[in-house]
């Protein structure tokens, strides 16, 4: 068994490669900035518009593919075309080559944004009709479609998209990293009003979901949703981070109407609506097939903050 992993300079891709190696599985990594490695077989990552032969070449002797490379939604200057090229067309190229060259499975790391927008409130599962609301989400959904179409064209069904909610862990980015920085202050925070809950997933559980989909017996579904077992409110996320940093809770409740009005005056109404939304992922399909979710999100978030506190400050 040999697995090609893309996106190993990113948060999840690097952990997937490490876990595969620890499981004594041979790993090839495709990187835009390849560096010699004593641990991995390293190849250059082709651009989205590279010829088919470039993608076929890096699949030589590979049995499975985990495709994590892509453009995240924290790039404020990215255009719709940038997202489509990085998240949809590159995925199509990998899927076509993998369907033609490999004998095993392709797992594509997707996002719940492929199915819902940031202000959606409700339950997210594999059966819901996708309705992405942003350029990033539309590109991830298009990546799912193009991947599955490429495999269907080769009469294969052993490819799947793994939709993840926000992922937390050492090295995380995006809104959770912002909330952790905010928690590491002495300021009282007017967040106790935020009672809407969100599903999250630990980086370790996300990686285990990928490995589970690579190795489990039985056919794959086109899409899976993974998350920690229980959702958690924004206020509780901040409380967990503050506890991990050893700081007092200091969360104060202000009327929701006042917070909404202030957000509107500051031009942040969309952001407020996203923080107020309740988005609950249902991972029961994966669980029924033998995957084990994280059960104590509060404790794990606190551990992330404790580890961050112990890390030496990076030189500026």
In 3D space, the residue among 121, 202, 204, 209 whose CA is nearest the CA of residue 165 turns out to be 202
In 3D space, the residue among 37, 95, 44 whose CA is nearest the CA of residue 65 turns out to be 95
Q: Are 98 and 59 in contact (CB under 8 A)?
A: yes
pLDDT at residue 227 in the model: 97
Model-level pTM?
Answer: 0.90
Indicate if the pLDDT at residue 282 is higher than 60. yes
Classify residue 240: in a domain, yes or no: no
Cα distance from N-terminal residue to C-terminal residue, the chain = 42
Classify residue 296: in a domain, yes or no: no
Classify residue 21: in a domain, yes or no: yes
CA 6, 292, 113, 215 dihedral sign is positive
pLDDT at residue 255 in the model: 63
The pLDDT-based confidence of 290 (bands split at 50, 70, 90) is very high
pLDDT at residue 251 in the model: 79
Indicate if the pLDDT at residue 291 is higher than 90. yes
Classify residue 191: in a domain, yes or no: no
CATH number of the domain to which 23 belongs: 3.40.50.720
Q: How many domains does the chain have?
A: 1
pLDDT at residue 274 in the model: 65
**For residue 29, what are its two tokens?**
């990594």
Please write the tens of the pLDDT for every residue from 22-76.
989 999 999 888 777 778 888 999 999 999 999 999 999 999 999 999 988 877 6
Phi, psi for residue 7 in degrees, rounded to 5: 75, 30
pLDDT at residue 155 in the model: 92
Strand order in the sheet with 197-198: 122-124, 279-281, 197-198, 232-233
Considering only residues 201 and 33, tell me which one the structure prediction assigns the higher pLDDT.
201
Classify residue 131: in a domain, yes or no: yes
Classify residue 276: in a domain, yes or no: no
Q: Are 147 and 159 in contact (CB under 8 A)?
A: yes
Please write the tens of the pLDDT for every residue from 113-152.
999 998 889 999 999 999 999 999 999 999 999 999 999 9
Indicate if the pLDDT at residue 312 is higher than 70. no
pLDDT at residue 284 in the model: 96
The pLDDT-based confidence of 315 (bands split at 50, 70, 90) is very low
**Residue 21 belongs to domain spanning:** 2-168+201-226
Classify residue 303: in a domain, yes or no: no
pLDDT at residue 273 in the model: 62
Please write the tens of the pLDDT for every residue from 240-274.
999 999 999 887 776 666 556 655 665 655 666 66
Classify residue 256: in a domain, yes or no: no
How far apart CA 101 and CA 55 sit, in angstroms, is: 10
How far apart CA 298 and CA 240 sit, in angstroms, is: 6
HEC string of 94-144?
HHHHHHHHCCCCEEEEEEHHHCCCCCCCEEECCCCCCCCCCHHHHHHHHHH
Please write the tens of the pLDDT for every residue from 231-241.
999 889 999 99
The pLDDT-based confidence of 280 (bands split at 50, 70, 90) is very high
Q: Are 111 and 56 in contact (CB under 8 A)?
A: no
Phi, psi for residue 265 in degrees, rounded to 5: -65, -35
Please write the tens of the pLDDT for every residue from 79-102.
999 999 999 999 999 999 999 999
Indicate if the pLDDT at residue 314 is higher than 90. no
């Amino acid at each position: 068994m040999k697995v090609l992993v893309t996106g190993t300079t990113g948060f999840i891709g690097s952990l997937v490669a490490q876990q595969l190696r620890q499981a004594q599985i041979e790993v090839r990594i495709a990187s835009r900035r390849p560096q010699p490695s004593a641990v991995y077989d390293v190849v250059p990552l082709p651009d989205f518009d590279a010829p088919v032969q470039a993608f076929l070449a890096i699949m030589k002797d590979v049995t499975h593919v985990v495709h994590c490379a892509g453009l995240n939604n924290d790039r404020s200057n990215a255009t719709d075309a940038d997202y489509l090229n990085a998240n949809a067309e590159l995925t199509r190229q990998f899927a076509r080559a993998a369907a033609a060259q490999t004998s095993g499975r392709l797992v594509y790391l997707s996002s719940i944004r492929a199915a819902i927008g940031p202000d959606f409130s409700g339950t997210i599962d594999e059966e819901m009709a996708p309705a992405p609301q942003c350029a990033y989400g539309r590109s991830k959904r298009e990546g799912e479609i193009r991947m599955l179409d490429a495999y269907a064209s080769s009469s294969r069904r052993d490819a799947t998209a793994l939709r993840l909610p926000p992922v937390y862990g050492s090295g995380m980015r995006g809104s959770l990293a912002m909330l952790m920085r905010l928690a590491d202050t002495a300021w009282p925070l007017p967040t106790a009003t935020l009672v809407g809950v969100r599903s999250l997933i630990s980086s370790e559980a996300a990686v285990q979901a990928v490995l589970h989909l690579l190795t489990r017996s039985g056919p794959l579904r086109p899409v899976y949703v993974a998350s920690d077992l229980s959702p958690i409110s924004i206020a509780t996320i901040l409380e967990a981070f503050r506890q991990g940093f050893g700081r007092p809770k200091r969360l104060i409740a202000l009327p929701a109407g006042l917070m909404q009005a202030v957000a509107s005056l500051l031009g942040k109404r969309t952001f407020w609506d996203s923080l107020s939304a309740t988005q609950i992922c249902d991972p029961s399909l994966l669980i029924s097939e033998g995957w084990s979710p994280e059960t104590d999100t509060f404790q794990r978030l606190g551990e992330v903050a404790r580890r961050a506190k112990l890390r030496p400050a990076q030189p500026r």
